Amino acid sequence: MTPSVPRHHVAAEQEYYILSLNGSQGAYCQVLLWWRPDNRGYTKFLEAAGRYKESVVRTGLGYYDNHETTIAIPCSEVERFALRAVDVDHKYEIMKLAEFALEER
């Protein structure tokens, strides 16, 4: 029997959400805007936001984490405050589903 070679634990590279400060600030701001994957626009939905590897963020700090228009925040930290909710834009559809469910009883 040959001894097994110990596997070295390789820590996963930390991932970051990129918060856009354009549109996410102000007294009346009610949503945060996150960068989508591959720098392709913005989203208010965390599930649709891009997860950017630390190596990518570090090589482009002036772009991804300049603290004027963007801030890179560890995904694990943001996810601690995330809620799963229904978008108010779909309130009408949800109310119709609720009415249908009540009729089925």
Asked if residues 50 and 57 have their Cβ atoms less than 8 Å apart, the reply is no
pLDDT score recorded for residue 78: 95
Gap between the Cα atoms of 47 and 82, Å rounded:
10
In a domain, 9, yes or no: no
pLDDT score recorded for residue 60: 95
In a domain, 10, yes or no: no
In a domain, 2, yes or no: no
On the 0-12 / 13-18 / 19+ scale of CB atoms within 10 A, 52 is: buried
pLDDT score recorded for residue 34: 94
Backbone angles phi, psi at 30, to 5 degrees: -120, -5
Per the document, the length of the chain is 105
Number of domains in the chain: 1
pLDDT score recorded for residue 41: 95
* Angle in degrees, CA 6, 10, 81, rounded to 5: 140
What range does the domain containing 84 cover? Answer: 15-104
Residue segments in the chain with a per-residue pLDDT below the cut of 70? 1-10, 24-29, 105
